[in-house]
């Protein structure tokens, strides 16, 4: 049986693994963007001036956009829950963290290559304010999957997870587009 101090040591070690896998994925994303897809990034993509101008000028239909965001954000949740019911749950957590880090590294590198410092600001603003809620919600789920069977899923975790995801989706649908358009008008 673990003592209370042993539990805290295990939590600290698991947090290190989470950060390690994300940073490893981030580094791989940076390398991939610089070595493999550099020509593609410099020729087109979401950081293209035409795309950014179109985004700034387009009126977004909130009902359709909200439905799109719900579908896109729920796909990894459903996949993680499904894989969490199998023996490969820890591998799924590691793969998710690596993929998330890889995606962030590649997008940030692409933004810097195309826009410089403004690209970093654009990426950070694109994740504001919803990303804090998504991160917190995913930490609840990933932590459970990584520390299972010591960690049991319960009603409190369910409510917390669903509330955090719902807040993230609402903010992404209704606050983020306003912030993005304000920033893009300054470019």
The residue ranges of every structural domain in the chain are 8-185
pLDDT in tens, the chain (187 residues): 445 555 555 555 667 888 899 999 999 999 998 888 777 776 666 777 788 888 888 888 888 999 999 999 999 999 999 999 899 999 999 999 999 999 999 999 988 988 889 989 999 999 989 999 999 999 999 999 988 888 888 999 999 999 999 999 999 999 999 999 888 888 7
Residue 2: per-residue pLDDT: 47
Is 137:144 a contact under the CB 8 Å cutoff?
no
Question: What is the 3-state composition of the chain as percent helix, strand, coil, each rounded to the nearest 5?
Answer: 85, 0, 15
**Cα 82 from Cα 97, distance rounded (Å):** 16
**Cα 173 from Cα 167, distance rounded (Å):** 10
Cis peptide before 106 (omega within 30 of 0): no
Chain-centroid distance, C-alpha 129? 12
């Amino acid at each position: 049986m673990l003592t209370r101090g042993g539990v805290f040591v295990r939590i600290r070690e698991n947090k290190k693994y989470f950060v390690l896998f994300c940073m490893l994925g981030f580094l791989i994303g940076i390398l991939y963007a610089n070595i493999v897809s550099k020509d593609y990034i410099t020729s087109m993509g979401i950081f293209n001036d035409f795309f950014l101008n179109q985004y700034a000028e387009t009126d977004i239909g909130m009902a359709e956009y909200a439905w799109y965001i719900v579908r896109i954000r729920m796909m990894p949740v459903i996949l993680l829950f499904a894989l969490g019911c199998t023996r490969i749950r820890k591998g799924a957590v590691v793969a998710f963290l690596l993929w998330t880090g890889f995606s962030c590294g590649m997008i940030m590198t692409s933004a810097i290559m195309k826009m410089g410092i403004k690209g970093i600001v654009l990426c950070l603003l694109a994740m504001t304010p919803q990303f804090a809620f998504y991160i917190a919600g995913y930490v609840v789920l990933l932590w459970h999957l990584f520390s299972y069977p010591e960690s049991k899923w319960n009603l409190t975790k369910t409510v917390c997870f669903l509330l955090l995801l719902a807040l993230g989706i609402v903010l992404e649908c209704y606050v983020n587009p306003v912030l993005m358009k304000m920033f893009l008008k300054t470019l």
